[in-house]
Amino acid sequence: MKTIHKYSVSPGCNTVEIPVFAKFLHFGYQPDQGMQVWALVNTELPLYPFTIRVIGTGWNAEGLEESNFLGTCQTSDGLVFHAFERHLKEAVSQ
């Protein structure tokens, strides 16, 4: 079944188990739950460990050249964060 799910992330590297072939839709901040990533997923497909890296403005962004930009959000205390996703090409070809 295809549905939209949200996944909690925090600053730094996050490994999140999400059904393979997920389509990332949005990165945002919810005051009561923190930073979240929303994705369109097929719940009938196997889970895959996606790497989502969250960095603040001015932080080291080395190694993000081949990552997919998911979005930018601002927290309730005014900090701005940016999320990037990178997955192994082998999982996509299976």
Alpha carbon distance 47, 17 (integer Å): 6
- Token pair, residue 91, equals 């999982």
| Distance separating alpha carbons of residues 94 and 14, to the nearest angstrom | 23
If one counts every other C-beta atom within 10 angstroms of the C-beta of residue 35, the result is 20
Task: Calculate the average pLDDT of the chain.
Answer: 92
The 10s digit of each residue's pLDDT in 44-88 is 999 999 999 999 999 999 999 889 999 999 999 999 999 999 865
* Entry pTM: 0.87
Arithmetic mean of pLDDT, 4-18: 97
Indicate whether 21 pLDDT > 80.
yes
Q: What is the pLDDT of residue 87?
A: 66
